[in-house]
């Protein structure tokens, strides 16, 4: 079954601040499957405000071009607002987002537990309370969990899933798959008050408030210093103003002090702000804030030290792994991860910051893992490649959601390790390689890999390094199917080309492209040699010279992919592997021997792209065509080095870094 098809009806209880946003996200995500989204609240005026909020956001989407009016009409038609809780009786998933008062939650959950089918999932969008506390009197706790959304719920991609201890594992996996399919980045979090991310953010609010109270800066200054220290886009006081979060933060800090660490406590100034209902005095976007060097020297290390201590406490407690916390906190809060801070400051800088913070707050949590990082001189690397087995098939997933699964050196290392493990495991017959989410299989090579090149030798080395990783896939003894869950651009396309076969989703309009010439380079991980051998010299040259994006249907017609699949993708991939192993089907042929010269005299408009890079590309493709694949790949390495020696490569990369992929570079053709 499709990961979202079980959602015939979704219920949202509460039409206050976050309930309508949750409902809006489901209405958008499920617009093509005729699901109903019911918003229930006992307050008719709250329902009307929620309806108006949703309509206002959708109207803004139409005006900005994000939505078409026809789609908006379908979303609005799927939404239903009601005061009658019994209308939720047939729902497959109900999320309560009405209150943080545990007594009221109990009443709601007991009533919903009586109404819903035992197979329905019952969730609470609490930001702090544990599922054991929320569902203590609810029938069928094996279907109950916390689903914690982050502000703004319809756009922030992170959700924390905190299952009740009795929650069925199969149901949890279904929820994780569903949220991934509808564009969220879900994290399974162990149960504890506040979960994984709120104790860190609310702890930063406590730090900021105490710094203001002690005279180290005005709120707008401390707010801006928090952004400077931690890479925040929105400072802690600004976030409090946007979310109306002072009361819930004060309440959360008080309970964290008894359940997590005595360091947590609501500062007197925060209590005053709650009592008065005032907003923090913060700077507007783009407004200059006067800060002295003395302030920066005093405040920045305190933010660094406190932040690392709070993150380390979460990791030490086992609430979330270091790698998942790194990814989750970057996306949810738009903040530098603790690992990023560590690498920026170095072990000595971190040790000094920790010492200053601990001197100021003697009861600050002592993070064991951070001490271990300091002792080793490095923070642990993130885990970007995840492996698991289903029966006799290994499933390898590249998970870098913030970077659309882009390749970097660490991804390559982890990918090689995962593939080697699968290839040598006697219980594994074949491998499925895919990417996290629905947007990208692999969006390309991380631009930082290329921007840091300092010589021709370095350029050739990175080409040869990536080729070696992909050669391990192509030459392995077991078939590897690339399940292209989303776009495969640049290095992502080259990775797919190294696999035994490729499968793509039906109807995907933007699947594959070789856009390297937009950057002033050529494909350097096998693309100039494997793509022509798979789809033909002429089509491959046109695709690489123009950067044209190929749809899934076009990719099937060209031979780039071996088949089109519908959700759920994995069973389709397993079926294809079974057919390959049983020799009931063959993968599209990619010859390795030299090819016969082919007449190709079609004029191609390369647009704004570099004529010099185009000349290098055409030469590499046409000369490599007449060589063996191995010889052609070595030629590609040399040609990638040739690109480095052009001015256009540096123009293209600099333009991308400064202006992004939508801005054409002004090449000089030198």
Catalytic residue numbers, as ranges: 494, 516
**Ordered alpha helix ranges (H), 187-292:** 198-213, 219-230, 236-243, 246-259, 268-276
Distance CA 652, CA 665 (A): 6
Residue 624, both tokens: 């490599």
Distance CA 406, CA 384 (A): 10
Distance CA 630, CA 471 (A): 10
Q: How many CA atoms lie within 13 A of 549 on its CB side?
A: 11
Cβ-based neighbours of 185, under 8 Å, separated by 6 or more: 157, 158, 159, 179, 327, 328, 331, 401, 436, 437
**H or E element, residue 346:** helix 338-360
Contact 208, 226 (CB under 8 A): yes
Q: What does the angle CA 275 – CA 278 – CA 281 come to, to the nearest 5 degrees?
A: 140
Distance CA 478, CA 421 (A): 12
In eight-state DSSP terms, residue 165 is T
Contact 407, 446 (CB under 8 A): yes
Look at residue 597 and give its three-state secondary structure: coil
Cβ-based neighbours of 36, under 8 Å, separated by 6 or more: 8, 9, 10, 78, 80
For the beta sheet containing 440-442, the strands, ordered from the edge strand earlier in sequence to the opposite edge, are 440-442, 487-489, 512-513
Residue 234, both tokens: 């929105």
């Amino acid at each position: 079954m499709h990961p979202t098809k079980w959602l015939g009806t979704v219920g949202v209880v509460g039409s206050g601040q976050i309930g309508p946003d949750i409902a809006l996200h489901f209405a958008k995500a499920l617009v093509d499957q005729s699901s109903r989204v019911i918003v229930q609240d006992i307050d008719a005026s709250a329902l009307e405000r929620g309806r108006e909020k949703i309509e206002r956001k959708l109207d803004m989407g139409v005006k900005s071009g994000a939505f078409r009016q026809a789609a908006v009409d379908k979303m609005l038609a799927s939404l239903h607002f009601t005061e009658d809780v019994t209308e939720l009786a047939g729902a497959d998933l109900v999320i309560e987002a009405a209150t943080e008062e545990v007594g009221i939650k109990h009443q709601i959950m007991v009533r919903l537990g009586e109404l819903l089918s035992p197979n329905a999932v019952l969730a609470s969008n609490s930001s702090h309370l544990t599922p054991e506390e929320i569902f203590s009197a609810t029938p069928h706790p094996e279907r109950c969990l916390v689903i914690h959304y982050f502000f703004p719920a319809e756009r922030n991609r992170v959700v924390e899933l905190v299952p009740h201890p009795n929650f069925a594992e199969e149901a949890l996996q279904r929820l994780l798959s569903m949220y991934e399919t509808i564009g969220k980045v879900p994290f399974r979090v162990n149960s504890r008050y506040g979960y994984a991310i709120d104790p860190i953010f609310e702890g930063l609010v406590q730090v900021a408030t105490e710094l203001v109270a002690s005279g180290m800066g005005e709120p707008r200054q401390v707010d801006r210093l928090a952004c400077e220290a931690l890479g925040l886009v929105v400072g802690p006081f600004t976030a409090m103003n946007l979310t109306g979060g002072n009361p819930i933060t004060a309440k959360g800090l008080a309970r964290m002090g008894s359940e997590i660490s005595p360091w947590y406590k609501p500062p007197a100034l925060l209590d005053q702000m709650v009592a008065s209902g005032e907003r923090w005095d913060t700077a507007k976007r783009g407004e200059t804030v006067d800060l002295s060097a003395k302030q920066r020297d005093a405040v920045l290390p305190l933010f660094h030290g406190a932040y690392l201590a709070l993150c380390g406490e979460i990791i030490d407690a086992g609430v979330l792994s270091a790698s998942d916390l790194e990814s989750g906190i970057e996306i949810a809060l738009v903040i530098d991860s603790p690992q990023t801070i560590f690498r920026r400051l170095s072990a000595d800088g971190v040790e000094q910051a920790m010492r200053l913070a601990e001197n100021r707050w003697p009861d600050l949590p002592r993070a064991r893992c951070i001490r271990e990082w300091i002792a080793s001189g490095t923070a642990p690397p993130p885990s970007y490649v995840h492996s698991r087995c289903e029966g006799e098939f290994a499933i390898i997933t590249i998970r870098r959601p913030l970077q659309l699964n882009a390749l970097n050196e660490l991804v390559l290392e982890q990918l090689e390790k995962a593939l080697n493990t699968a290839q040598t495991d006697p219980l594994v017959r074949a491998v499925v390689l895919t990417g996290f989410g629905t947007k990208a299989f692999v969006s390309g090579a991380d631009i930082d890999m290329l921007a840091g090149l300092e010589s021709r030798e370095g350029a050739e080395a990175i080409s040869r390094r990536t080729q070696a990783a992909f050669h391990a896939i192509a030459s392995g003894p077991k078939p590897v199917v690339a399940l292209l869950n989303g776009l495969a651009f640049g290095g992502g396309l080259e990775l797919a080309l190294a696999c035994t076969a490729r499968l793509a989703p039906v109807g995907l309009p933007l699947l594959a492209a070789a856009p390297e010439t937009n950057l002033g380079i050529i494909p350097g991980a096998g693309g100039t040699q494997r793509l022509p051998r798979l789809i033909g010299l002429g089509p491959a040259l046109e695709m690489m010279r123009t950067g044209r994006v190929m749809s899934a249907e076009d990719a099937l017609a060209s031979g780039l992919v071996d088949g089109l699949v519908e959700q759920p993708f994995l069973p389709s991939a397993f079926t294809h592997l079974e057919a390959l192993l049983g020799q009931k089907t063959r993968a599209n042929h990619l010859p390795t021997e030299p090819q016969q010269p082919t007449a190709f005299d079609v004029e191609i408009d390369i647009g704004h792209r570099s004529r010099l890079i185009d000349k290098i590309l055409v030469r590499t493709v046409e000369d490599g065509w007449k060589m063996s694949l191995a010889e052609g790949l070595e030629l590609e390495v040399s040609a990638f080095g040739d690109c480095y020696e052009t001015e256009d490569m540096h123009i293209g990369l600099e333009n991308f870094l400064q202006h992004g992929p939508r801005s054409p570079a002004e090449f000089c053709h030198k």
